[in-house]
Amino acid sequence: MKESLLIGGMSFLVPFVAAGLTAYFLLHWNIRASLIAGIALSTTSLAVVYSVLIESGLSDSRIGKLLMSSTFITDMGTALWR
C-alpha cells in the first residue's frame, strides 16, 4: 500500500509541478492555464496500463498489482485537482 501511494503520488506530482512551472515561468501563461497544463500532462490512462499488464501476463504478479494500484492513485490525483 505504501509503495502504491508513493509511486502514484510522485507520478502525479512530479509532472504536475514540472508542467505547471514550465507553463507559468517559461511560457508566461496565467496561473489557471498553467494549472490546467499541469493536470493534463500528469494524468495516466488506466485502460492502457491494464491492457499492457493483461497482454504481458503481469496482471496477477506483485509488480502488476503495484503498477495498477499506482496508476489508480495517479488518476485519483488528477480527479481531485479538477
Quote the pLDDT of residue 20: 97
Quote the pLDDT of residue 71: 94
26-57 pLDDT, tens per residue? Answer: 999 999 999 999 999 998 888 899 999 999 99
Taking alpha carbons only, the member of 53, 55, 31 closest to residue 72 is 53
Distance between CA atoms of residues 57 and 66, nearest Å: 14
Secondary structure of residue 3 in the 3-state scheme:
helix
Which alpha helices (DSSP H) does 22-59 contain, by range? 31-42, 46-56
Q: Count of domains in the chain?
A: 1
Q: Tell me the C-alpha to C-alpha distance, in Å, between residue 67 and each of 10, 12, 23, 64.
A: 13, 13, 29, 5
9-30 pLDDT, tens per residue? Answer: 999 999 999 999 999 999 999 9
Task: Decide if 34 contacts 20 (C-beta within 8 A).
Answer: yes
Domain that holds residue 10: 2-81
